[in-house]
Amino acid sequence: DPLAAAIGAGLDITKPNGCMVVDIGGGTCDIAVISLGGVVERESIKVAGDKMDNAIIKYVRNKYKLMIGEKTALLSTSV
Calculate what percentage of the chain has a pLDDT beyond 70.
95
Give the per-residue pLDDT at 12: 93
Helix (H) or strand (E) holding 43: strand 38-45
pTM over 0.75: no
75 falls in which pLDDT band (50, 70, 90)? Answer: confident
- One-letter amino acid at 30 equals D
Residue 49 has pLDDT above 60, yes or no: yes
Helix axes 70-77, 49-64, angle to 10 degrees: 100
67-71-44 Cα angle (round to 5): 110
CATH topology of domain 2-45: Nucleotidyltransferase; domain 5 (3.30.420)
Domain ranges of the chain: 2-45, 48-79
pLDDT digits (tens, 9 = 90+) for 19-29: 999 998 888 99
Estimate to the nearest angstrom the gap between the alpha carbon of 47 and the chain centroid: 9
